Amino acid sequence: MKVLVINTGSSSIKYQLFTMPAGDVLCTGLIERIGEKAGVLTHKIYPCSNKEVKHIEEKAVRNHSVGMERIAALLIDAKFGVLASANEVELVGHRVVHGGETFSSTTEITKRVKDKIKELSPLAPLHNPANLIGIEVAEQIFTKAKQVAVFDTAFHQSIPEEAYRYAIPSKFYTENGVRVYGFHGTSHRYITKRAASLVNKPLDKVNLITIHLGNGASMAAIKNGKSIDTTLGLTPLPGLVMGTRSGDIDPGVIFYLNEALGYELNDIKNILNKESGLKGLANDNDMRGVTERAAKGDKEAQLALAVYTYRIKKYIGAYLAAIEAPLDALIFTAGVGENSAIIRAKSVAGLAHLGIDLDIELNKVRGGERKISTKNSAIDIWVIPTNEELEIARQVYELKSITRYVS
pTM over 0.85: yes
Residue 63 has a pLDDT of 86
Residue from 115, 152, 250, 359 carrying the catalytic annotation? 152
SS3 136: helix
Residue 49 has a pLDDT of 53
Cβ-in-10-Å burial (0-12, 13-18, 19+) of 37 comes to exposed
Low-confidence ranges of the chain (pLDDT < 50): 401, 403-407
Asked whether the CA dihedral 333, 336, 341, 347 is positive or negative, the reply is: negative
Contacts of 41 (CB under 8 A, 6+ apart): 29, 30, 31, 32, 56, 57, 58, 61, 67, 70
Q: Residue 25: enclosing H or E segment and its boundaries?
A: strand 24-32
Q: Residue 332: enclosing H or E segment and its boundaries?
A: strand 329-333
Considering the chain, what is the average pLDDT of its residues? 92
Q: What is the DSSP string of 34-89?
A: TTSSS-EEEEEEEEETTEEEEEEEES---SHHHHHHHHHHHHT-TTT---S-GGGE
**What is d(CA 375, CA 179) in angstroms, rounded to the nearest whole number?**
41
Sketch out the chain's domains with CATH numbers. Answer: 2-151 (3.30.420.40), 202-388 (3.30.420.40)
**What is d(CA 247, CA 238) in angstroms, rounded to the nearest whole number?**
4
Cross-strand bridge partners of residue 32 = 40
The side-by-side arrangement of strands in the sheet containing 2-8 is 51-58, 40-48, 24-32, 13-19, 2-8, 89-96, 146-151, 107-108
Q: Residue 397: enclosing H or E segment and its boundaries?
A: helix 388-398
Residue 53 has a pLDDT of 87
SS3 318: helix
284 catalytically annotated: no
How many angstroms separate the Cα of 225 from the Cα of each of 193, 302, 402? Answer: 8, 36, 24
